[in-house]
Structure 1
Amino acid sequence: MFKKSLLIIILLSATLSAQDYFLKKYHPFDESIPSPAEFLGYDVGRHHTRHDLIVAYFNKLAEVSDRASIYNYGKTHEGRKLVILTISSTENLQNLESIKQKHLAFVDPSKSVSNYNEVPIFINLGYNVHGNEPSSSEAAMLAAYTFCASNSPEVLKYITNAVIMVDPTINPDGRDRHTQWANMYQGNPQVSDPQDAEHNEYWPGGRTNHFWFDLNRDWLLGIHPESRGKLKWYHSWYPNVVTDFHEMGSQSSYFFEPMKDNASLNPIMPKENYVDLNNLFGDYFSSALDSIGSFYFTKEVFDGTYPGYGSSYPDLQGALALLFEQASSRGHVQKTAFGEITFPFTIRNQFVSSITTVKAAVENKDYLRKYQQEFFKSALSNATKSRVKGYSFKEDFDKNRTKAFIDKLLLHKVDVYRSNDSYLVPTNQPQYRMVQTFFETYNKYRDSVYYDASAWSVANFYNMKYRPVTSLNLGEKISSTEGLVPITPVQQTDYAYIIDYDDYNANAVLNFLQANGITVSSSFKPFTAKTTLGKKSFNYGALVVPVSLQKKDAVEVFELVQKAQKKYHVPMFSVATGYNAKGIDLGSRYVSPITKPKAAMLIGTGVRSYEAGEIWHLLDTRVHMPITKIPLRNFNRVNFDKYNTLVMVSGRYNLTKKQQEVLSDWIKKGNTLITIGSASKWVIDKEIVKEKIIENKKDSTKVANRKPYVDAPENIGKEEVGGIILNVDLDVTHPLAFGYRDNQIPVYKNNSVWLKPSENEYSTVARYSKNALVDGFITKKNTNEFLNKSASLIVSKLGGGRVIMFADNPNFRGSWYGTNRLFLNAIFLGDKIRIPE
């Protein structure tokens, strides 16, 4: 018994000693509350911790500590829990609802309150939005333990004066992907060689979520359950300070704000945020990191121009958002130019910054509260000064796309009204800065190099026709999207059903019917039909379901059509005759049966996982259509004849000459290859198609002017196209453009792929318009030498098949509802494209 007790004491002492690397400053701790090491059975930093264990530990803290409660704000695509642990003094937790109401009074411009020091400050410590930047979630456990269990005077002061909300893992699916990798390859002894498998994840890596999306860019776009759950939680609390913990290259050090200057000439966030508050908190971080001998940098590389980061979106909600970037060990220990960087070392920097954030917030809570209060008041005063009093938008033919846009506005608590036959968003509202983000466009910048995009006017993402208005006539306020797409139930017929192809969900209906054995045709010319509801005009692409030609009886056909309408809310019509009032008849040769797509996509090393994930997500979550994801390593074992459509997104394709021949021969058999971005350049460079790229021609006789070496990154960087919105001129008669009525639509460009318009007169589907720039930064050189001469979408014949080449990404970040249809038409109608010689 004595030996067993001695062993327990020795093990406990060893654990405490290891923990002191992080926690020494905050003794004494409540012994009834287990530390992370005691709960996990290993020291923090010894292994990478799975998300379910982190959640279990947080549940344990909520169970045993009267300072903590836990809240589940959603689930990931893979079903992992998204949780927030709220920590404060016992008294504060018992009165949390009352404190919350006092806090929310400061974000309500209609209220005048001044008890700034009486209300605890609200702090959201957010971690691990990029799954393979794992140090912060380990630090989250240490921070949560410290605030729950430490009885040091410093920590007791913090929990008395703050409500601390800890979100340990914003991207659990990506984190667990990386955790499995790092632990699977962890050596004993540990291997610090950067070439070791532990430090080099296989494609697609753990950075992204289930569908390979970067969730740090999704705060504004709100596409995924992780972001939507967090945004719903966020807008019920409006924290004063929000952290965004990241990692960067192993050869770097540590970054904290202030950031590089915002690239916008006139940022919509107050200057007080990115100058005064950032510098105030920066003094705290530098002092804390100096005390443990850590090196760091500020004001470089990272900028908050794009408003959709975890370190910028809260800035548009009256908070102070703080970015941290830690040099990564990319595993457990790795060699660098300065020796070895260890996982525990990276965790400690993140932990120290976590505690320091709370310290700075508590010691400046009156300042932060006054700032947030003034932020929302200034939203109203700024709106009053503006000549623009609101934005009116409408879409006559696509109610589901309009619904999706309104859903996004409501997600961000933007007020929307129904005004006659259109919708109206007034500027005079607390979320005025979000209104600006959705509708305003820019073309003037103080900087020309961006960490992300230079354009994000969300209305253009949805191809929403909108206009500023100078007077208002508010109607009914929209509180939800329920009922926004009223549908007249389709009536049964024994002849044919016609489905409106203008609707965003039409492709989902088409897939549903095909998957259930219904043959569907597409109309290649407009017509006016005599429906049971009266005469109705149909655009290019209208879907026709002939009842008598199906293998199912009329009742079965009707039941499936009815189910499709109830599921997707698409306008459908019944006809008793094929003799149309105007245009082609239903038996015309211009009404052609649609081949059921059998689609595949190449993925793997070299392929841009973001773009591949966007396609997977689009087909999986909106069209509900499967796509086979073929790893490039399996190329030689694949029978491509099983598929009639193949997608290649941007990437570096190192296919052998033989593999290129296999691909070319497959296309010639009558199949469709769809390429995006650099994959379009690849098929041209490899002479699979006879099209051309517009490239920069250097004059070998010209002597270059000497420029300062230090300016090279900025001068070269500004020529990159980092994300702009351009108008294209669209051939709405082309099958790829079916469903569009306006020949001018916005597209998103974030690459330097410039396609030369095809020499075939019928093959250039979309060309950049004159004065194409809608939003964002592009140099005059790129405009004159490339943009003005280029096409956005072309089709090239190859044997009996075709290659559909997108210069731009029609599915960017899952949010480009306005151009998804171009890609979906390529999937469903690609084989219907007949290119005249």
Structure 2
Amino acid sequence: MINPARSILETTVSFFIFITFCSSSMGQDPYFFYQKTNFDQSIPTPEEYLGYSVGTHHTRHDQIVSYFKALDESSEKVSFQEIGRTYEHRPLIVLTITSQENHQKLDEIRRQHLELCDPKQTSPDVSKMPIIIHLGYNVHGNEPSSSEAAMLTAYYLAAAQSDEVKNYLDKAIIFIDPVFNPDGRDRHSNWANMHKGSPLVSDPLDREHNEVWPGGRTNHYWYDLNRDWLPLAHVESKARIEFFHQWLPNVLTDFHEMGTNNTYFFEPTKPFGSENPVVPRDNYDKLNSLLAKYFVKALDNIGSLYFTKEVFDNSYPGYGSTYPDIHGGLGLVFEQASSRGHLQKSSTGELSFRFTIRNHFTSSLATVEGAVAEKDVFLQHQRDFFTSAITESRKNPVKGYVFGDLHDQNRNKAFLDLLLRHRIDCYEVPQTLRLNGKTFEKGSAFIVPTEQAQYRMVRTMFEKVTQFHDSIFYDASAWALVYAYGLPFESLTGKSLDFGKKVIRENLSGIDAEVRKSKYAYLIDWKDYYAPNALNHLLKAEIVVKAAFKPLNIKLNDGSTKDFGYGTLMIPAIQEKVDSETLYKTLLEVARESKVKIFSVETGFSNTGIDLGSGNFRTIKVPKVIMPIGEGVSSYEAGEVWHLLDSKVGMPVTKVDLVDFGWVDLHDYSTLVMVSGSYSLFDDKMVERIKEWVKAGGTLVTLRAATSWAINKKIVDEKLRKKEASEEEPKRLDYVSAGNVRGADQIGGSIYATDLDITHPLGFGYSNRELAIYRNSKVILEPSKNPFSTVIKYTKDPLISGYISKGNLDQLKNSASLIVSSLGRGKVILFADNPNFRGTWYGTNKLFLNALFFGEHIRTP
């Protein structure tokens, strides 16, 4: 934030003087490069290359990429590489800056650094090793100042000829990742540039400062990539984690923006309350504030106000500023007041884009300065971190975790892929194990030992936590992803474990695509995670597919018998629009693409359960899904639906802005999905249209706040659970405690136990009634009056992991998570929770997909 000692007039005049100066000279801009430093004139400044002064225009991602390539071409101290591509095919890039000598032996330096992090290797002399610094920027696309700062930082380190910079490059390998989120950045940059006025308009109400929905914060699928370092749902995160583990940096920065009326934040974060439970104490006592004095000195020097130890936390391991802490490094979050455009009024004056850039540029250089000065501390900490991981693991009574679902190899492999991307060692079970009433069979179960370098990441994936220093969470308070994947698992105790073959990612191939020809019928087990994908592709190919509404056991054409559960797909060979050979080729292609097993039978007579000609096999139609989006609708939840259907099912979803929804003929669609939102643009007439459409046979699916909306609009006769009013006299509390008291009453993201009716069409594909649910809202449903309509119910003691206040927990007990309500010939499917959370809740995705495929077949007794 602007120094209040400077008047608004001084700030504005100085701003335009600098613009004029830079526009005319196209050299080093003194607003940023105020120190007396000689620069290599053969290396282009950002201004020279771009044709405008930094901060006078929002730089597109392709221009940043081109400039970084130009630095590579003009300096022997710089190398450019592409590490991946976004969904919109923008390159993800990293610039490496170090001395020429270091450049010539990068492979050797990387090998030595990884040996430092390997407890099995002899400890090297850290005083002779360079520190690894990763400067990362712009994970939220509409927080754009940091990418501009990244260009200035890259230029400064490449071109400055001072002894100070030479020392940096001799003692550090510096990576600059200028844009974590290229798709979101360009969405915002184009918005800001196309609405920029001349003269600039600082009024916060101006269109430049107010993006249309969904804004540039998120990636292509409207996901927050700063929550994706752990779940790795997206291509950007997968590429970034792959690069991260190639180097395991000692310091990694994560630059952000916050509200315009704030100042500047740097670490340390809030002590104790914001800390991750698996990170060693010395990370916070020794490292977290180690660089603060360098930030203080640098920001004091330019007169910028700042604050520390408040608001922001480092607990959730999916943050870019927390993930490095679980790998022996230091993640650093910076937050800058945002101009949300080029110039905006704030409570202390006019805040310019250039000012925001200068703060992040200043902190970038201070990070390098401090990291190099303290390099031996960082390197030794990282060595000690991984060594202590082995020591701590040996003291832990839990020696490993075994997991695996006998009925769903695709979900097993998806979780294995996640673990391996995080460099967690996994092994096949050498023989069938029976633990705590659960059977883990050889061939479909795996062991993750705790005694390994990634011990703390193993704990992150499997441990449940219910005790906390604080009750205020910036984001989730639970993240054990084994629950997200819905996999049976148990901890292993004992002195030693027997391991089978080590699992490597290259061996996580798809299911055997061999399909035996049949003259009668083919079957697909709906328990397979990718069975909905197979069903969708078959329906698009106009193949007749029926689903079993009761289980059966039948003889296969290889002579064996198999149990098939609720939802099993049956493709009759003699009732198709296509000939048997075309059908077979289609099934073979689907098996390969969808990674599902397709079984062949030569009889319709089952050993037990329903026969294939039973009326309990019902023909499934192609769902035609429509989803309202726009202002007032959660872009996160809408993006999660879109991403799920795109990436996991291959099903199109029609996304229509609320302002255009009045033109929609709902009868062209089978299913209306409404995610959380206020839906204030839906007047009484639109509500009535939706009700009439449902009565005519449509299926309405609502998530979280949309469920509250449907109940409040009396579309269904269901009830929200309300807290009972207390007759006691209200407590008197100190004003300063209000934030903590109110914050503790929120449900910020935790995991709960529920009971699922696996015989209900919405529960098809599940073999266990116990189901872990992720909850991050206070939408609490009363169970339905109809005894057959409450599909999922919270248990009487539901908390598995995470924080929840006692009052909220008491209210949640025995409430409903999923209800089906009849309306005429149609159905309203009410989710109190979000089954698609952050693209990683594989364990609950099928509930939502069942609603799409089977919703019209639900018969409420």
TM-score calculated relative to the size of structure 1: 0.97
Question: For 1:113-146, what per-residue CA distance to the aligned partner results, in whole angstroms no more than 9, with x for missing partners?
Answer: 3421211111000000000000000000000000
Partners of 2:469 and 2:185 in 1: how far apart? 36
What percentage of aligned pairs have identical amino acids?
Answer: 50
Deviations 1:516-573 (A, max 9, x none): 1111100000011121022211000100111211111111111111111111221211
Residue 321 to residue 735, structure 1, CA distance change in 2 (3 Å): same
Task: Tell me whether 1:384 sits opposite 2:411 in the alignment.
Answer: no
Give the Å deviation of 1:11.
7.8
State whether structure 2 residue 654 is matched by structure 1 residue 628. yes
1:152-190 deviations in whole A, cap 9, x for unaligned? 222122111111100000000000000010001000000
Of the candidates 753, 773, 776, which is equivalent to residue 727 of structure 1?
A: 753
- AA of the residue aligned to 2:405: E
Question: Does 2:584 correspond to 1:558?
Answer: yes
Instruction: In structure 2, give the amino acid aligned to 1:498.
Output: L
> 1:799 — aligned with what?
824
CA apart distance, 1:105: 2.1
What is the rounded CA distance, in whole Å, between the counterparts of 1:184 and 1:288 in structure 2?
34
* Pairing 1:708–2:708 present: no
1:194 and 1:334 in contact (8 A); partners too: yes
Q: 2:409 aligns with which of 399, 403, 424?
A: 399
Aligned counterparts, 1:814-825, within 5 A: 814-825=839-850
**Distance in 2 separating the partners of 1:194 and 1:102:** 52
Q: What is the distance in 2 between the residues matched to 1:486 and 1:603?
A: 37
Distance 2:696 2:247 in 1: 59
Given residue 461 of structure 2, which amino acid in structure 1 is its aligned partner?
A: F
Corresponding position: 1:160 with 2:170:
yes
Q: Structure 1 residue 149 and structure 2 residue 159: aligned?
A: yes
SS in 2 for 1:132: coil
- Render the CA deviation track for 1:605-657: whole Å, top value 9, x for unaligned: 00000010011001101111101001101011111111010100011111100
Alignment-derived partner of residue 706 in structure 2: 679
* CA distance 1:656–1:605, change in 2 (3 Å): same
Tell me how far apart the structure 2 counterparts of residues 772 and 702 of structure 1 sit (CA, whole Å).
28
1:744-801 CA-partner distances (Å, limit 9, x unpaired): 01010000000110001110000001211111011111111x2114100000001110
Is the contact made by 2:27 and 2:47 (CA closer than 8 Å) also made in structure 1? no
Counterpart position of 1:432: 455
How far apart are the structure 2 equivalents of 1:705 and 1:754? 25
Matched to 2:813, the amino acid is: N
8 Å CA contact 2:275, 2:314 repeated in 1: no
Counterpart position of 1:505: 530
Q: Amino acid of the residue matched to residue 791 of structure 1?
A: A
User: SS at 1:746's partner residue?
Assistant: strand
AA matched with 2:855: G
**Distance apart, 1:26 and its partner CA:** 5.3
2:554 matched to 1:529?
yes
Matching residue of 2:484 = 461
Q: Which residue of 1 aligns with 2:595?
A: 569
- Once residues 268 and 851 of structure 2 are traced to their aligned partners in structure 1, the CA distance between those partners, rounded to angstroms, is 45
Tell me the SS of whatever aligns to 2:141. Answer: coil
Q: Which amino acid aligns with 2:812?
A: L
Matches of 2:545 and 2:108, distance apart in 1: 59
- Are 2:326 and 1:316 equivalent residues in the alignment? yes
Instruction: Give the secondary structure class of the aligned counterpart of 1:389.
Output: strand
1:470-501 per-position Cα deviation (integer Å, ceiling 9, x unaligned): 13101110012535654362211121111111
Q: CA, structure 1 residues 18+92, in 2 after alignment: closer, same or farther (shift >3 Å)?
A: closer
Q: Secondary structure at the match of 1:625?
A: coil
AA of the residue aligned to 1:504: Y
Deviation at 1:697, TM superposition (A): 3.1
**TM-score relative to the length of structure 2:** 0.94
Q: Distance in 1 between matches of 2:733 and 2:751?
A: 31
Q: Structure 1 counterpart of 2:113, which letter?
A: H
- Asked if 1 retains the 8 angstrom alpha-carbon contact of 2:548 and 2:566, the reply is yes
Give the Å deviation of 1:227.
0.4
- Cα distance in 1, alignment partners of residues 743 and 724 from structure 2: 19
Q: Distance in 2 between matches of 1:35 and 1:60?
A: 10
Partner of 2:692: 665
Using the alignment, how far apart are the partners of 2:555 and 2:99 within structure 1? 71
Mapping of residues 222-621 of structure 1, within 5 Å:
222-263=232-273, 267-419=277-429, 420=431, 421=442, 422-471=445-494, 472-480=497-505, 482-483=507-508, 486-487=511-512, 489-533=514-558, 534-621=560-647
Deviations 1:656-699 (A, max 9, x none): 00011111111111010000000001100010100000012324
Q: Secondary structure at the match of 2:532?
A: helix
Structure 2 stretches of 5 or more lacking a match? Answer: 1-19, 432-441
Deviation at 1:275, TM superposition (A): 2.5
Contact 1:392 1:469 in 2 (8 A): yes
Specify the alignment match of 2:196 in structure 1. Answer: 186
Deviation by residue 1:570-627 (Cα, 9 ceiling, x = unmatched) = 1211112211111111111100001210111111100000010011001101111101
2:17: which partner in 1?
none
Structure 2 counterpart of 1:3: none
**Aligned residue number for residue 206 of structure 2:** 196
CA distance in 1, matches of 2:458, 2:49: 46
Residue from 745, 754, 765 that aligns with 2:771: 745
Q: Who is 1:5 aligned against?
A: none
Take 1:11 and 1:323, find their aligned partners in 2: how far apart are those partners? 33
Are 2:717 and 1:690 aligned? yes
Number of positions where the alignment pairs a residue of Structure 1 with one of Structure 2? 825
Which stretch shifts more, 674-683 or 107-116?
Answer: 107-116
1:86 is the counterpart of 2:92: no
Shift of 1:262: 4.2
Q: Which amino acid aligns with 1:379?
A: A
1:703 positional shift: 2.2
Q: What SS does the corresponding residue of 1:823 show, helix, strand or coil? A: helix
> Is this contact kept in 2: 1:599–1:627, CA < 8 A?
yes
Give 3-state SS (helix, strand or coil) of 2:63's partner: helix
Match of 2:859 in 1: 834
Aligned Cα RMSD in Å? 1.3
Q: Please state how far the C-alpha of 1:273 moved relative to its aligned partner.
A: 1.4
Task: Structure 1 unaligned segments of length 5 or more: list them.
Answer: 1-9
Alignment equivalent of 1:775, drawn from 801, 807, 815: 801
Counterpart amino acid of 1:443? T
Give the 5 Å matches for 1:755-774: 755-774=781-800
Letter of the structure 2 residue corresponding to residue 564 of structure 1? V
8 Å contact from structure 1 (residues 18, 43) kept in 2: no
